[in-house]
Amino acid sequence: MKKHFFSGIQPSGRLHIGNYLGAIKQWIELQDEYEPVFGIVDYHAITAPYEPSEMSARILDAAAGYLAAGLDPDKSIIMIQSRVSEHTELAWILNCQTSMGRLSRIPTFKEKVRQNPGEVGMGLFDYPVLMAADILLYKSHIVPVGEDQVPHLEFTREIARKFNTTFGDTFPEPAEVLSTGAKVMGLDGENKMSKSLDNCIYLDDSDKDIQKKIATAKTDPARKRRDDSGNPDICNIYSYHKIFSTPEELEYCAEGCRSAGIGCVECKKILVAHLEETIAPLREKRNELLAKPDAITEILLAGSDRAQKIARETMAEVKSRIGLTFG
Ligand code: TYM
**3 state SS of 144:** strand
75 plus 141 within the same structural domain: yes
Mark whether 195 is an active-site residue: yes
Q: CA-CA distances (angstroms) from residue 4 to 135, 232, 286?
A: 10, 41, 26
pLDDT in tens, the chain (327 residues): 899 999 999 999 999 999 999 999 999 999 999 999 999 999 999 998 899 999 999 999 999 999 999 999 999 999 999 999 999 999 999 999 999 999 999 998 998 888 877 778 999 999 999 999 999 999 999 999 999 999 999 999 999 999 999 999 999 999 999 998 999 999 999 999 998 888 999 999 999 999 999 999 999 888 888 888 899 999 999 999 999 999 999 999 999 999 999 999 999 999 999 999 999 999 999 999 999 999 999 999 999 999 999 999 999 999 999 999 998
Split into its structural domains, the chain has a count of 2
Q: CA-CA distances (angstroms) from residue 232 to 69, 102, 237, 258?
A: 30, 40, 8, 7
Domain that holds residue 130: 6-183+293-322
Question: What CATH number should be reported for the domain holding residue 271?
Answer: 1.10.240.10
151 plus 43 within the same structural domain: yes
244 plus 306 within the same structural domain: no
Distance 262 CA to ligand 1 centre (A): 36
C-alpha 80/C-alpha 74 separation (Å) is 16
**3 state SS of 191:** coil
Mark whether 212 is an active-site residue: no
216 plus 274 within the same structural domain: yes
- 192, 213, 285, 319: the active-site residue: 192
Measured from the Cα of 144, ligand 1's closest atom is 22
Residue 195 in domain: no
- 162, 183, 195, 269: the active-site residue: 195
> Which H or E run includes 299?
helix 293-322
C-alpha 141/C-alpha 143 separation (Å) is 7
